[in-house]
């Protein structure tokens, strides 16, 4: 097994969450938190540090053990298998909805092209990436993620400067609305569990003890800058009436003849490369998880990736419209995110503390 560098691990893991709701999260925040949307953003970032602590605690105390093997080691074979089986359909649905949102966003740039063409091409390309293995994905991520992050932050800052709405509410008005915003924004972090899968692929060091915290810090900055880019151009009420507020913001500036007109193709290329990397990561994770649940060696993940890509494609193509996708997001992915990102890791922490001697003996 080839060990990956700090940059590869951080880039690979950080590229495995946020795309689900990146194009829609500003509208979701405003829809549920209204004028307190900024507080909801800060709240979900605060919750992400609790999530990061749980994942980092597990990785630090169970080095060289990853994913399904961590759950089995801490909880035992039967309970671990049940938890692993629960992860599979949840993450398949999560990737399918993410793929639908991406294909729909791309269709707005190429309206004459059917959505299923984008979906099939995108998923087949992602499958090819997953087939190459996590080490190859790490090398690609170390290039794609920094470029996309820098391009996104710089573009959004330029958008903020050009924006017409400079007012930023600093006082919380409704605590309940703020909590609803936090509740519905948390699916942004779906995919963060990949840190547990990557645990065997890096050497324990001082730097590795901060991987999860560094990742959520970078994500928090990117989310805030993107959020301000939307509200500075659309105001604090319009985003909830748009399916893709982020994409609409760039389109609006395009009509004004802003710089985005010059670099629009670059943004599309970066968004596509980032989304392909994101989907490839999760195809690899799901194929690996299925292989381990069935007791197969990790090297056999490729044959299970065929099933994974087929199921994701079927799920994505069965979504009829954006309203259904948003319903699935609100009613299915929201509870899934809180369960898998906070519930399961904190449960593993408690179980590891209870069975401390057993875990320590078998992790050495």
Query: Does an H or E element contain 295, and which?
Result: none
Measured CA to CA, the distance from residue 29 to residue 35 in angstroms comes to 9
Token pair 């080839």: residue: 2
Q: What is the mean pLDDT of residues 229-235?
A: 85
Per-residue model confidence as pLDDT tens digits over 321-362: 888 999 999 999 999 999 999 999 999 999 888 877 455 544
For the chain, the average pLDDT equals: 86
Measured CA to CA, the distance from residue 199 to residue 233 in angstroms comes to 41
The two tokens of residue 134 are 């996590």
Measured CA to CA, the distance from residue 351 to residue 83 in angstroms comes to 13
Asked if residues 246 and 22 have their Cβ atoms less than 8 Å apart, the reply is yes
Q: Provide the pLDDT for residue 180.
A: 94
Give φ, ψ of 244 to 5 degrees.
Answer: -125, 80
User: Coil, strand, or helix at residue 10?
Assistant: helix
Is the pLDDT confidence value at 1 over 80? no
Measured CA to CA, the distance from residue 307 to residue 286 in angstroms comes to 10
Per-residue model confidence as pLDDT tens digits over 32-84: 998 899 999 999 999 999 999 999 999 988 888 888 888 988 888 899 899 99
Homologous superfamily of 6-363: Amino acid/polyamine transporter I (1.20.1740.10)
Give residue 279's pLDDT band: very low, low, confident or very high (50, 70, 90): very high
Per-residue model confidence as pLDDT tens digits over 167-205: 777 788 889 999 999 999 999 999 999 999 998 888 888
Give residue 244's pLDDT band: very low, low, confident or very high (50, 70, 90): confident
Nearest Cα to Cα of residue 77 among 294, 225, 322: 294
Is the pLDDT confidence value at 267 over 50? yes
The two tokens of residue 353 are 């503390």
Question: pTM (2 decimals)?
Answer: 0.89
Q: How far is the CA of 116 from the CAs of 314, 319, 320, in angstroms?
A: 11, 11, 11
Q: Provide the pLDDT for residue 211.
A: 94
Q: Which residues contact 294 (CB under 8 A, 6 or more apart)?
A: none
**Greatest CA separation found in the chain?**
64
Per-residue model confidence as pLDDT tens digits over 135-153: 889 999 999 999 888 888 8
The torsion of the CA quartet 355, 203, 345, 175, rounded to 10 degrees, works out to 140
Asked if residues 98 and 333 have their Cβ atoms less than 8 Å apart, the reply is no
Asked if residues 215 and 188 have their Cβ atoms less than 8 Å apart, the reply is no
Q: Provide the pLDDT for residue 255.
A: 46
Asked if residues 319 and 24 have their Cβ atoms less than 8 Å apart, the reply is no
Per-residue model confidence as pLDDT tens digits over 206-218: 888 999 999 999 9
Q: Which residues contact 261 (CB under 8 A, 6 or more apart)?
A: 253, 254
């Amino acid at each position: 097994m080839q060990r990956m560098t700090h940059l590869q691990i951080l880039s690979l893991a950080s590229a495995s969450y946020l795309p689900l709701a990146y194009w829609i999260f500003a509208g979701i925040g405003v829809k549920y938190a209204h004028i307190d949307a900024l507080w909801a953003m800060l709240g979900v970032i605060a919750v992400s540090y609790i999530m990061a602590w749980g994942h980092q605690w597990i990785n630090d105390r169970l080095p060289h053990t990853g994913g399904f093997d961590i759950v089995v080691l801490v909880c035992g074979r039967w309970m671990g298998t049940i938890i692993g089986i629960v992860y599979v359909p949840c993450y398949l649905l999560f990737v399918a909805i993410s793929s639908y949102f991406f294909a729909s966003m791309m269709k707005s740039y190429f309206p004459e092209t059917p959505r299923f063409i984008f979906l099939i091409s995108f998923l087949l390309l992602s499958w090819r990436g997953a087939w190459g293995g996590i080490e190859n994905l790490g090398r690609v991520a170390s290039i794609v993620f920094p470029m996309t992050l820098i391009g996104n932050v710089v573009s959004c800052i330029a958008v903020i400067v050009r924006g017409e709405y400079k007012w930023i509410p600093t006082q919380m008005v409704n605590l309940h609305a703020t909590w609803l915003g936090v509740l519905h924004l948390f699916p942004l972090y779906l995919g963060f569990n990949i840190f547990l899968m990557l645990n065997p692929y890096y050497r324990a060091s001082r730097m590795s003890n901060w991987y999860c915290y560094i990742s959520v810090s970078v994500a928090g900055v990117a989310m805030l800058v993107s959020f301000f880019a939307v509200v500075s151009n659309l105001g604090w009420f319009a985003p909830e009436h748009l399916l893709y507020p982020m994409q609409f913001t760039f389109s609006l500036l395009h009509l004004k003849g802003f710089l985005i007109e010059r670099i629009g193709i670059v943004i599309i290329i970066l968004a596509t490369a980032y989304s392909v990397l994101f989907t490839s990561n999760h195809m690899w994770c799901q194929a690996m998880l299925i292989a381990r649940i069935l007791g197969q060696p990790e090297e056999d993940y490729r044959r299970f990736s065929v099933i994974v890509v087929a199921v994701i494609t079927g799920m994505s193509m069965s979504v009829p419209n954006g309203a259904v996708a948003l319903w699935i997001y609100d009613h299915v992915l929201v509870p899934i995110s809180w369960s898998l990102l906070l519930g399961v890791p904190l449960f593993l922490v408690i179980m590891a503390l209870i069975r401390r001697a057993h875990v320590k003996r078998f992790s050495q």
